[in-house]
């Protein structure tokens, strides 16, 4: 039995809000003078929004059938090691003195973006079979 999967509106909105709160938090921490307690609170603001994003994605993936879940799992199996590789390369470049102004906060958007080509690669692995209803 196949189920129609729900739209990705929930995860997209949650992802955008999480990303924007992270950028806003980073900007505030770089450009304002705050007491230590306030800096900690500002730094922690994006956390709940990223948790919301994770749960929104899990709810979205639960609407998939087995084939769609397999494609998503394969895409994550490509994206996760790619993101680790990117992180290791950036870390090595930092230690070598080449990208001294970058931190892990500057790299994570690229890590998230790696999932899109990984999803495309994973979806091309499996031939689509169409069952006419």
State pLDDT tens for residues 28-85: 998 999 999 999 999 999 999 999 999 998 998 899 998 889 888 898 899 889 888 8
Give the position of tokens 């209803």: 133
Q: Is the dihedral of CA 124, 6, 17, 105 positive or negative?
A: negative
Cα separation of 93 and 65, whole Å? 42
Distance of CA 71 to the CA centre of its chain: 17
Q: How confident is the model at residue 4 (pLDDT cuts 50, 70, 90)?
A: low
Max CA-CA distance within the chain? 64
pLDDT at residue number 6: 57
């Amino acid at each position: 039995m196949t189920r129609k999967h729900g739209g990705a509106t929930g995860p997209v909105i949650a992802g955008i809000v999480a990303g924007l709160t992270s950028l806003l938090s980073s900007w505030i921490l770089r450009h304002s003078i705050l007491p230590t307690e306030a800096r900690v609170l500002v730094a922690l603001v994006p956390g709940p929004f990223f948790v919301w994003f994770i749960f929104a994605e899990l709810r979205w993936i639960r609407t998939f059938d087995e084939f769609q879940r397999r494609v998503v799992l394969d895409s994550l199996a490509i994206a996760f090691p790619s993101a680790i590789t990117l992180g290791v390369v950036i870390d090595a470049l930092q230690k070598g003195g080449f990208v001294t102004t970058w931190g892990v906060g500057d790299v994570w958007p690229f890590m998230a973006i790696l999932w899109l080509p990984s999803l495309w690669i994973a979806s091309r692995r499996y031939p689509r079979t169409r069952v006419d209803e």
